[in-house]
Amino acid sequence: MSEFQHPRPSDAAEALAASTTRPILSSSFLSIDQLFLDFLTEHRVPGLVWGVVDHSGLIHHGAHGVKNVTTQVSTTHTDVFRIASMTKSFTALCALHLRDQGSITLADPLTHWLPELKIQEPPYGLDAPITIGDLLSMSSGLVEDDPWADRQLALSKESFLSILSTGVGLDLTPSTAFEYSNLGYAIVGMIIERAAGVPLATVAADAIFTPLHMDSTTWNLPTFDPARVVSGYSLCDGQWQIEPLLGDGVFGAMGGLGSTIEDLAKWVALHLNAWPTAERLVRPTVRSSTLREMADVHRVMSQPRLTGPDLVAQGYGYGLMIAHHRLLGRVVGHSGGLPGFGSRMEWLPEYGVGLVALANRTYTPLADVVRRGLTLLVEEGYVITKAVQPSPELLQIYRVINETYLDPLRQSSLEKAALPTYLLDRDDDRRPPDFASLRETYGQLAVADPLVPTGSLRGHWTLRCQHGTLTVQVMLGPMAPHGLQFLQINEAPASE
């Protein structure tokens, strides 16, 4: 009842590094597999599939357990799971695609497209209309509604419009705070249909599914090949209880898609290819800038859903959750949960790697194990960030500063390479360093470490001297030719 495989021959998988100079090694796959096997046992999940993704697509997958408790048929990487709220990322991109085509704007008031919508205004009133952008970024003020909305997938268009016309209340002031709303994404789906003149599923097929060959991704699961559709379960009093497979209705826009690990790997690869550090092995079918826009924080979460000492910030983009992590950098993804199913996809743009997992138990909590899998890849050095390319001017400043330390009489050469404003900083903490004094204090230069560019026009490095170690930070000016605008040299901590 287990399946572990590299989709390509192992020598090809070993050669794939995408954004790195070191391949994702097969030994890392064994560690990933063990994480998920342990998770499946601990959380009593009937079936579980997972996949590791790079810029080219799926490079490893595993599966364990069953897709049907009664028949005991093993689950595989080709099985279709309901992905629940991971659907929101597809709905968001459809909306943004229409925006890029000029059909809508994110500033459009909801009532422009849905005049049936009646918002119950708070006592203090509303000083601005709720917009499409508010819904996409979970900033609309609508109350969190998982317990109710998760049972509404099959709701008809007529019933939905009736609900909207009776009055929708607000929990928070719009555009002021994050609050997760499934209703909001159902409204987005309806707006997409009215703006495009065709159903959301048609927009998604034309813009996403067909170009990416996501042939096993669908909203209409009841009509899909039943042999490939996974049954969802809840554990009730120690017994597995099958959850009914809800049909495709208006709330499908927020959580109704079904998909496979293979198809979702194509989706994650599309997003990885949108970043400048990617080798672009998958040609984006939509604007790369739009995909990156989805992965920007548009509403900060004051109470993050995922916590940990290494999380610097967390927020919601457009259909995606974004975290900034001290080790992993930008972390992009989304969870999904419905009666019978749990899912999680997450990727690291700076490292060019992602991980997807699907399970068939109600609200399976996959976020932590997926994050641990990505952390393992980074901590063990199986993936590394692609170095930023420094500009020729930055490389020249690096050489001039090192030469000036070797011979402080060359300080005039450094000043010639600087902007006129460089010598105007006279504050004690910002004035240009005196290389003669540095040389007298720290002695001869033994080794100048390589430049570490943090952008094409700025960077830092270490000078290892006879009597101590110095850190150098530089930043060049914005206008060409790019002269030195800031230089700071400090004594390095003892650990360096």
Residue 10: its pLDDT value, please? 32
Higher pLDDT, 326 or 200: 200
Distance of alpha carbon 75 from alpha carbon 96, whole angstroms: 35
Residue 188 counted as domain residue: no
Average pLDDT over residues 381-405: 90
Are residue 294 and residue 355 in the same domain, yes or no? Answer: yes
Distance of alpha carbon 318 from alpha carbon 92, whole angstroms: 6
Instruction: Give the residue from 379, 413, 440 where a domain finishes.
Output: 379
From the list 206, 218, 281, 202, the residue with the least C-alpha distance to 252 is 218
Please calculate the CA angle 379-355-50 and round it to the nearest 5 degrees: 120
Are residue 398 and residue 371 in the same domain, yes or no? Answer: no
Residue 24: its pLDDT value, please? 53
Residue 12: its pLDDT value, please? 31
Residue 17: its pLDDT value, please? 34
Residue 272: its pLDDT value, please? 94
From the list 262, 269, 351, 211, the residue with the least C-alpha distance to 60 is 262
Residue 309: its pLDDT value, please? 74
Residue 149 counted as domain residue: no
Are residue 205 and residue 278 in the same domain, yes or no? Answer: yes
Express each pLDDT in 110-138 by its tens digit.
999 999 999 998 888 888 999 999 999 99
Average pLDDT over residues 175-192: 97
Are residue 206 and residue 77 in the same domain, yes or no? Answer: yes
Residue 430: its pLDDT value, please? 62
**pLDDT(278) > 60:** no
Instruction: Give the residue from 379, 411, 442 where a domain finishes.
Output: 379
Distance of alpha carbon 331 from alpha carbon 309, whole angstroms: 15
Residues 6 or more apart whose CB falls under 8 angstroms from that of 425 comprise 431, 432, 486
Residues 6 or more apart whose CB falls under 8 angstroms from that of 264 comprise 51, 83, 86, 217, 345, 356, 358
Question: What does DSSP say about strands 81-82 and 119-120: parallel, antiparallel, or unpaired?
Answer: unpaired
Express each pLDDT in 12-60 by its tens digit.
333 333 333 344 556 678 899 999 999 999 999 999 999 999 999 999 9
Are residue 334 and residue 396 in the same domain, yes or no? Answer: no
Instruction: Give the residue from 329, 354, 379 where a domain finishes.
Output: 379
Residue 20: its pLDDT value, please? 36
Are residue 375 and residue 396 in the same domain, yes or no? Answer: no
Are residue 416 and residue 480 in the same domain, yes or no? Answer: yes
From the list 97, 20, 86, the residue with the least C-alpha distance to 59 is 20
Residue 107 counted as domain residue: no
HEC profile for the chain? CEEEECCCCHHHHHHCCCCCCCCCCHHHHHHHHHHHHHHHHHHCCCEEEEEEEECCEEEEEEEEEEEECCCCEECCCCCEEECHHHHHHHHHHHHHHHHHCCCCCCCCEHHHHCCCCCEECCCCCCCCCCEHHHHHCCCCCCCCCHHHHCCCCCCCHHHHHHHHHHCEECCCCCCCCCCCCHHHHHHHHHHHHHHHCCCHHHHHHHHHHCCCCCCCCECCHHHCCCCCECCCEEEECCEEEECCCCCCCCCHHHHCCEECHHHHHHHHHHHHCCCCCCCCCCCCCCCHHHHHHHCCCCEECCCCCCCCCCEEEEEECCCCEEEEECCCEEEEEEEEEECCEEEEEEEECCCCEEEEEEECECCCCCHHHHHHHHHHHHHCCCCCCCCCCCCHHHHHHHHHHHHHHHCHHHHHHHHHCECHHHHHCCCCCCCCCCHHHHHHHHCCEEEECCCEEEECCEEEEEEEECCEEEEEEEEECCCCCCCEEEEEEEECCCCC
Residue 11: its pLDDT value, please? 33
Q: Which has the minimum average pLDDT: 11-20, 192-201, 389-398, 462-471?
A: 11-20
Distance of alpha carbon 343 from alpha carbon 325, whole angstroms: 21
Tell me, yes or no, if the pTM score tops 0.75.
Answer: yes
| Alpha-carbon distances, residue 494 vs 216, 336, 432, 464, 470 (angstroms) | 56, 46, 24, 12, 10
**pLDDT(284) > 90:** no
Distance of alpha carbon 198 from alpha carbon 200, whole angstroms: 7
Please calculate the CA angle 208-212-215 and round it to the nearest 5 degrees: 90
Average pLDDT over residues 91-110: 98
CB atoms within 10 A of CB 100: 16
Are residue 363 and residue 400 in the same domain, yes or no? Answer: no
Residue 171 counted as domain residue: no
Residue 495: its pLDDT value, please? 61
Average pLDDT over residues 273-294: 81
Average pLDDT over residues 211-231: 94
Are residue 419 and residue 364 in the same domain, yes or no? Answer: no
Express each pLDDT in 450-486 by its tens digit.
999 999 999 999 999 999 999 999 999 999 999 999 9
Distance of alpha carbon 93 from alpha carbon 286, whole angstroms: 9
Residue 96 counted as domain residue: no
Distance of alpha carbon 150 from alpha carbon 359, whole angstroms: 17
* Token digits of residue 234: 């809840």
Express each pLDDT in 335-359 by its tens digit.
999 999 999 999 999 999 999 999 9
CB atoms within 10 A of CB 245: 18
Higher pLDDT, 127 or 265: 265
Are residue 274 and residue 316 in the same domain, yes or no? Answer: yes
Are residue 456 and residue 338 in the same domain, yes or no? Answer: no
**pLDDT(429) > 80:** no
Main-chain phi, psi angles of 213, to 5 degrees:
55, 45
Main-chain phi, psi angles of 157, to 5 degrees:
-60, -40
Q: What is the CATH number of the domain that holds 447?
A: 3.10.450
CB 317 within 8 A of CB 295: yes
Number of domains in the chain: 2
Are residue 317 and residue 440 in the same domain, yes or no? Answer: no
Mean pLDDT of the chain: 90
Helix axes 182-196, 157-166, angle to 10 degrees: 120
Residue 98 counted as domain residue: no
Side-chain-side CA neighbours of residue 100 (13 Å): 15
Average pLDDT over residues 251-257: 97
Q: What is the CATH number of the domain that holds 23?
A: 3.40.710.10
Which domain does 346 fall in, by range?
2-91+197-379
From the list 358, 323, 263, the residue with the least C-alpha distance to 36 is 358
Residue 352 counted as domain residue: yes
**pLDDT(250) > 90:** yes
Residue 286 counted as domain residue: yes
